[in-house]
Structure 1
Amino acid sequence: MTPAELKEYWLEKWKSIVSVALLTIVSLLATYHGTTYFSVFEFNHASVNSSAEANNILGMLRSQWHATNQNLSDSVRFGRLRDNVTKTNRTFYQAKGSFAAHINFTVNALKTLNFSTGNKYQLPGIESMDKHTDPSLMINATSAEVISQKRDYRLIVSDNNTCDSLNNPHGFNSFNFKNDVFLLMGIKSTCNHRFRRDAIRETWGNESRTYHTTGVRVKLVFLLGDCVTNEDTDKLWDELTTHADILQWDFMDSFHNLSLKHCLLWQWYATHCMDVPFLIQGDDDMLMNMRNILEFLMSLPVEREQDLWTGSTLMGQPPVRVNTSRYYVSRRLYPDKLYPPYVSGGGFLISGSLVVRLWIATFWKYMLPVDDAFVGTLAKAVGVKPINGRKSFASWGLKDPTPYCLSTIKTYHKALPFELITLWEEMNEYYESINANYTAEHTLS
């Protein structure tokens, strides 16, 4: 490398470091700004209406639930949570102002810093990160050790209106369940998994059915890389004529690129879905119990909404150093002996405000080929630890996935299409029988 090239390299490196530092400061200010916004928020007429609407929806969820002895404790717990929502002024529907202020402040800061596509010194993550990667990673390293840090891939397929409100924006001081999307579901998939996507659309991912049964609006998107064959591409385009729920980027789909799907989803979220308060991310071989998920989210205390990150937690996990393993991570890429706490990538819940902070953290953190551990390193960088939900997130399956067991959890991993449809139907038949018993008992009384 010539002196001029070396000077140019270090100039770019320092500009990148300064840019990241500026954005970090902006993010911290945004967090403070959001907290302050919330602390001075006044309880007004709009939030009263939102609280009443929330209670109505909670009542809808509860009415579909349980009256049998085995579910009595759950019913009591749910009633107590609903009472708490009624009594407190500081519910989600007010805190949304804090959340939205944080995201808008951060995204606008990106624009203010003027990192356009023509800027030579763009932040890593907006422009290709490979040139910002430590050159020592590429010296005398095997192919297994070299993981591309590029994450500026082009969107091939995108529905930019996925998260739009059905009506004009009405401000951040209330949440309109009839029109606003409450939960975004980002599911990792591949071109040739059409049967899995169809099974999800037919069952728990059916947006209109969820809205009809719970009164809560959700949105489903599948995350894909480029198709391997022309045949798969043709089939995908046929699928798109029926379904507008796919995000596809022009990178090669592989196990090691699962981390990339997190980065690109979060970047897309910050651009197109910043008003959606919660996300759930997972694989296309999972079953979700939407009733339990929505009950949990609507019952969250305000102080947990900003940093929500929950799933099956893993603690004290060491990186795999055997280079023949698909989970191999070199010491050059991650030198520590243990990963920070993280949750299984099979399925986890996360708040939108935390997603934006994790996305910003990707600008200066190396992308690891193990996606759930990678998210753990980002969370550590922004000072957040996961909430262990191992009992309700069955990320490693269940010994006996009976309808009752499925009615008590939020997610069940490793369910292929036929099994997924069967289990989902059995679970809903179980709910219907509970409702019938509840109605019969109250009619007699």
Structure 2
Amino acid sequence: MGAGFLHKQLLVCFSAFLFLLVVIIHQDAPGTLQLGFLGALRGEPVSAEQRQGSPTFQWRGTEEERAGDSMPVPVPSRPPATTRHPLQVVYPYNYRFLLNEPDKCRDRAPFLVLLVVTEPKDITVRNAIRQTWGNESAVPGVSMVRIFLTGVHPRYGSPLQRLLEEESALHRDIIQQDFLDTYNNLTLKTLMGMEWVSTHCSNASYVMKADSDIFLNVGFLVRQLLQPQLPPKKDFMTGHIYRNTGPLRSKAYKWYVPREVYPNNTYPPYCGGAGYVLSGDLAKKVYGAAQTLRVINMEDAFLGICLYKLGISVTNSPWGLFNVFWLEYEKCRFSRLVLVHHYGPTDLLRVWPDFQGGNKTCPS
């Protein structure tokens, strides 16, 4: 009797653990169907079909878009504050560049532009990235340009602005527009980067948008995935692809998207915002499409909407190259990945010397 009771208690505890683990993963990747998750826990292989899901996106759009999907929809430059939902992103709008680097690509056609999302206060973060994966000389023989994207701090804009201007004068790698730097304005920050590429670096072969809290194996990205010896791809975008996802309607989540902002129940397939790569020609097309769409406060999903509008599909990359979760550092494992999420400046500076060092030979 005692053994049976103990066995039942263990089963209950294990079931509770599985439930909590699913909830945690679901919150870290909002809206994602965790296909094959329980099978993976049991050690069963996950098929490519399970990993990719099936495209079930259904487009509703606004009334104007439904009335004439093939025609650009005129959008007022700034919706009246009385009718605009607080989370509705104000776009298109003539945001001014407070810091700019218009000459970065004047005398070169970079193979890769790194657009790194940061906050105005992130001086330590930017310095760590400059010393590690953001070093423009990280891949010998390959021309790279590093640009940090930022807005205006909601509370300490003026004192931080002076520091940003000094940092910008020293490194010449920061661009900034006059929107507030908030989580819900992340889409504006990314579109600023697309605008900068379209206007000042339209000769780039590839563009990567990256969060600032990642480990990026830029050598593997360039040599193995993008392959500079081949002609640049066109209409190309890849990363960690989310399918069969939809907006979270609960205000308890920071990823909350109300119906007033986005009426659809699902998103088209899109690449997770920790880091994704697109061809230079597509960066310009995405920026153009954004001028005709209602911009939403989920930046990565919005780029998927732009691709849907353009009739372009995301491109599958080898499974696991873009790792949106944290992994314990191990040199050989990291040498076969493009990115790993949740690596701050201290972690980067700690592991980078070993990663760059030749003290360990990894099997091919």
* Bucket of the pairwise TM-score, normalised by the shorter protein: 0.7 to 0.9
- Say if 1:151 and 1:263, in contact at 8 Å, map to a contact too: no
Q: Equivalent residue for 2:256?
A: 328
Q: How many residues align?
A: 294
Kindly provide the CA deviation profile for residues 179-213 of structure 1, in whole angstroms up to 9, marking residues without a partner as x: x31110000101111000000001111113x25xx
Kindly provide the CA deviation profile for residues 304-352 of structure 1, in whole angstroms up to 9, marking residues without a partner as x: 8112111111111121111343211122322221111111111011001
- Measure how far apart 1:123 and its partner are: 6.8
Pick aligned residue for 1:163 from 102, 105, 115: 105
CA distance in 1: counterparts of 2:244 and 2:339, whole angstroms: 23
Pick aligned residue for 2:78 from 108, 127, 130: 130
Pick aligned residue for 2:279 from 351, 375, 385: 351
CA distance in 2: counterparts of 1:364 and 1:270, whole angstroms: 16
Q: Equivalent residue for 1:251?
A: 179
CA distance in 2: counterparts of 1:342 and 1:421, whole angstroms: 31
Q: Equivalent residue for 2:149?
A: 223
CA, structure 1 residues 142+353, in 2 after alignment: closer, same or farther (shift >3 Å)?
closer
- Say if 1:307 and 1:354, in contact at 8 Å, map to a contact too: yes
Alignment of 1:74-93 (within 5 A): none
> What code does the residue aligned with 1:408 have?
R
CA distance in 1: counterparts of 2:219 and 2:85, whole angstroms: 47
Alignment of 1:89-168 (within 5 A): 129-131=77-79, 139=83, 143-144=86-87, 146-166=88-108
Q: Say which SS state the counterpart of residue 162 (structure 1) adopts.
A: coil
- Say if 1:185 and 1:221, in contact at 8 Å, map to a contact too: yes
CA, structure 1 residues 206+147, in 2 after alignment: closer, same or farther (shift >3 Å)?
closer
Kindly provide the CA deviation profile for residues 236-263 of structure 1, in whole angstroms up to 9, marking residues without a partner as x: 1221232100001111000011101122
Say yes or no: does 1:372 pair with 2:300. Answer: yes
CA distance in 2: counterparts of 1:267 and 1:256, whole angstroms: 19
CA distance in 2: counterparts of 1:358 and 1:138, whole angstroms: 29
Q: Say which SS state the counterpart of residue 434 (structure 1) adopts.
A: coil
Q: Say which SS state the counterpart of residue 345 (structure 1) adopts.
A: strand
- Measure how far apart 1:434 and its partner are: 2.9
Gaps in structure 1 of 5+ consecutive residues:
1-13, 25-121, 167-179, 439-445
- Say if 2:85 and 2:261, in contact at 8 Å, map to a contact too: no
> What code does the residue aligned with 1:220 have?
R
Q: Equivalent residue for 2:265?
A: 337
TM-score by length of 1: 0.61
Kindly provide the CA deviation profile for residues 360-394 of structure 1, in whole angstroms up to 9, marking residues without a partner as x: 11111111111111111111111122223351111
Q: Say which SS state the counterpart of residue 111 (structure 2) adopts.
A: strand
CA distance in 1: counterparts of 2:237 and 2:130, whole angstroms: 25
Say yes or no: does 1:194 pair with 2:136. Answer: no
Q: Equivalent residue for 1:262?
A: 190
Gaps in structure 2 of 5+ consecutive residues:
1-63
- Measure how far apart 1:301 and its partner are: 6.2
Q: Say which SS state the counterpart of residue 242 (structure 1) adopts.
A: helix
TM-score by length of 2: 0.74
> What code does the residue aligned with 1:248 have?
Q
RMSD: 2.8
Say yes or no: does 1:419 pair with 2:347. Answer: yes
Q: Equivalent residue for 1:383?
A: 311
- Say if 2:111 and 2:228, in contact at 8 Å, map to a contact too: no
Pick aligned residue for 1:397 from 323, 326, 335: 326
CA, structure 1 residues 243+299, in 2 after alignment: closer, same or farther (shift >3 Å)?
closer
Kindly provide the CA deviation profile for residues 104-150 of structure 1, in whole angstroms up to 9, marking residues without a partner as x: xxxxxxxxxxxxxxxxxx975xxx6324xxx8x964x7534x44234
